[in-house]
Amino acid sequence: MSQEDLLQNFKEIFKTDNNPRFFFAPGRINLIGEHTDYNGGHVFPAAISCGTYAVVQQRSDQKLQFYSMNFPEQRKIECELADLSYNADHGWANFPKGMIHYFIESGFSIPYGMDILFYGDIPNSAGLSSSASLEMVTGVVLEELFKLEINRLHMIQLGQKVENNYLGINSGIMDQFAVGKGKKDFAILLNCHTLEFNYAPLELTDHEILIINSNKQRTLAASKYNERRAQCEQALSDIRTELQVSNFGELTIKDFEQYKHLIKSEINRKRAKHAVYENERTLLAFQELEQGNIQGFGKLMNESHVSLRDDYEVTGAELDKIVETAWNHPGVIGARMTGAGFGGCAIAIVKQTQIENLKEKITENYTKEFGFSPSFYEAEISDGAKEILRGDV
């Protein structure tokens, strides 16, 4: 959908002739470092060029009107600045509402309401952070429209708060961080405990990152996600009976092997193993990329998937099929699931000349087994959330 189309829709839906402002926040992929963020480890995500657009005008009263081109059946959703409490009937609009709520709670002045039209070209519920994108685009709308002095990290933390406190998903900080601080052609190595980060240029020579959407409905993903987190917390508390450590990101593989017997449940031990080993893999992967060794990087991606499949148990048959097909294909140097799992997307680093063949092979194998087909996107690594000028898209 072009900017002109969005403008046209905005004017019709909100019955206005005013010229609105345009904002954009990307989605993200995670190259490696999965389910490590809430365990105090490292992640290595990058923002992508699909994302969420917001077309906005300020109102002169305190009313908020939201409309999503992705959910036209839900029509215009309205509320007042004075009542931003969670409302199940408001569906997707709880994301921007939650963001505005936490801005106000943090002391930022939002004196007027707004009309906002949203349009996202990231597939929903596919593990590419459509929700963080919606939160962060709302964040930059508020920052720019009301000239607020908010630093980006604070905005990122408010986005996470929407997930944790407003929507009840105990997610970590990775998604909002990647969406908020993405940089064109760079991935971000983030220490989720200290929040220190480094940008790493994504130089893949004649390879590209292919995103493969399993198109599998992610049922119960939120409750399974929260369950994984609780299992890690239990495992940590078992370890802490003898070892002073504040999170799994602080634990080396050697220490883990020495103290893992303290973790009472076998399942929790597997979850903790993933968290510790995945953190080390992520640091190694960063080094491999810095040294230009993309083969080494790809091997670590593959190991990450195996660990998510066997120890963390979040991949599922569909993602496994996609990833295994990719592993067996010429020109693929690494493939793994990306995001929370339980369905959603996988990524593969593939030689450009092999991309079309790989898509065909995955479609064939996958459709034969599951009766529906996957979708593909070629990832372009982009900047984080920002205002865009007309004609910029």
Q: What angle do CA 144, 162, 376 make, to 5 degrees?
A: 85
Q: Is 175 a catalytic residue?
A: yes
All residues at 6 or more sequence positions from 157 whose CB lies less than 8 Å from its CB, including other chains: 173, 176
Smallest separation (angstroms) from ligand GLA to the CB of 177: 9
Smallest separation, CB 138 to ligand GLA (Å): 17
Residue 300: closest CA among 311, 291, 310, 289: 289
| Beta-carbon contacts of residue 303 (< 8 Å; ≥ 6 apart) | 281
| 51 DSSP assignment | E
Instruction: Give 175 or 303: the residue with its C-beta nearer to ligand GLA.
Output: 175
CA 184 to CA 47: how far, in whole Å? 8
What is the four-CA torsion angle of 102, 106, 108, 109, rounded to 10 degrees? 70
Closest CA to 257 of 278, 245, 267, 272: 272
Q: Which among 115, 175, 238, 311 is annotated as catalytic?
A: 175
Q: Which is nearer to ligand GLA, 192 or 358 (CB)?
A: 192
CB of residue 154 to ligand GLA, shortest distance in Å: 18
Q: Are the C-beta atoms of residues 114 and 59 closer than 8 Å to each other?
A: yes
State the minimum distance, in angstroms, from the CB of residue 42 to ligand GLA: 11
| Residue 305 vs 351, nearer CB to ligand GLA | 305
Measured from the CB atom, is 174 or 332 closer to ligand GLA? 174
Residue 201: helix, strand or coil by DSSP?
strand
Number of H helices, E strands in the chain: 11, 13
Q: Which residues bind ligand GLA (CB under 6 A)?
A: 30, 34-35, 37-38, 171-172, 174-175, 339-340
The residue (of 174 and 322) whose beta carbon lies closer to ligand GLA is 174
The three-class DSSP label of residue 113 is coil
What secondary structure, in 3-state letters, does 311-357 show?
A: CCCCCHHHHHHHHHHHHCCCCEEEEEEECCCCCCEEEEEEEHHHHHH
Length of the chain as a residue count: 393
Least distance (Å) between residue 339 CB and ligand GLA: 5
Question: Least distance to ligand GLA from the beta carbon of 37, Å?
Answer: 5
When the beta carbons of 93 and 340 are compared against ligand GLA, the nearer one is 340
Bridge partners (DSSP) of residue 378 are 210
* Least spacing, CB of residue 254 vs ligand GLA, in Å: 24
Task: Look at the alpha carbons of 388, 137, 114, 90 in this order and tell me if their dihedral is positive or negative.
Answer: positive
Beta-carbon count within 10 A of 328 CB: 11
- Given a contact cutoff of 8 angstroms between Cβ atoms, the answer to whether 101 and 147 are in contact is no
Which of 34/115 has CB closer to ligand GLA?
34
- Residues belonging to the active site: 175
